[in-house]
Amino acid sequence: MEMLQFNIDKIMDKRIVSMDMEANVTETMDAMHEAGVWSIIVTKEGRPEGVVTERDLLRRCFRPGLDPDLVKVGQIMSYPLVTIEMGQTIGSVLGLLMVDGIRRAYVEDSEGEIIGRVTQTQCLKGTLEIIMALR
């Protein structure tokens, strides 16, 4: 039964990359590629403001035919940034993501620093692993 209480720290991705909202899309794509991540936190004066995903790049920059060297990442970001506290269980986070239709949430430590990212897929996989372990 203890396994049902797995916290998200067991499944979260700790690769967090951020860019200032004044960075352009090309710089952001380069940073994402270099870090091997699908999303990047957009900051303003060092504070998290939103997120840009590969999907945002495609839908809000490339599909409309905008120049990635001229478009600022702050112009195409999704906001507000969805954050969760470190101690939450996989089940509670999965519920939040599925009910609200959110694809990812960012994990904050006790001081409000973003230390990880959790996706719907990670939560579903974690839940499946718990179920399989209980068999």
Domains in the chain, ordered, with CATH?
A: 2-134 (3.10.580.10)
Q: What is the band of 3 on the pLDDT scale with cuts at 50, 70, 90?
A: very low
pTM: 0.83
Burial tier of 87 (Cβ tally within 10 Å: 0-12, 13-18, 19+):
exposed
Exposed e or buried b per residue across 11-20, where buried means at least 16 C-beta atoms within 10 angstroms of its C-beta? bbbeebebbb
Here the tokens at position 84 are: 């969760």
Give the C-alpha separation, 15 to 25, whole Å: 20
The residue among 128 and 42 whose pLDDT is bigger is 42
Query: Rounded mean pLDDT of 26-39?
Result: 96
- pLDDT(61) > 90: yes
- Residue matched to tokens 């091997």: 36
Tell me what pLDDT residue 59 has: 96
DSSP per-residue letters across the chain: -GGGG-BGGGT-B----EEETTSBHHHHHHHHHHHT-SEEEEEETTEEEEEEEHHHHIIIIITTT--TTTSBHHHH-B-SPPEEETT-BHHHHHHHHHHHT-SEEEEE-TTS-EEEEEEHHHHHHHHHHHHHHH-
